[in-house]
Amino acid sequence: MALAPKSPNVIAKYLPIYFLLLAIAGIEFFVAFRITSTTALLTLLLGFAVCSAALALLFFMHLVEERRALFFSLIPATIFVLLMMNMIWSDSYRLLRMKPFPH
């Protein structure tokens, strides 16, 4: 009887990422109560949020295992969608009051 291929240890792969995300959340909690400068706090928390979101996307959504061509085609498409949403938001503000912008 042939041996079945060994499945990789999933817990050993994702547990360090989980603990890293947990550590980032703990650092965010600590920083939120220690820093009084609003701009420094916003910059640090936004940087931590981007790092934790990138880790979650890469490992828990399995983007780290995808081909690089797919990965690099998703980034410009996402930026394009966000820029187009930015163009529409100003128009939705105008439509909320049903009058054009004052000049």
Question: C-alpha angle 57/61/62, rounded to 5°?
Answer: 105
pLDDT of residue 7: 67
pLDDT of residue 103: 59
CB hemisphere CA count around 46 (13 angstroms): 6
Per-residue pLDDT of the chain (103 residues; tens, 9 = 90+): 566 666 677 788 889 999 999 999 999 999 999 988 999 999 999 999 999 998 998 888 887 777 878 778 888 888 899 888 877 766 666 666 666 666 5
pTM: 0.63
pLDDT of residue 88: 72
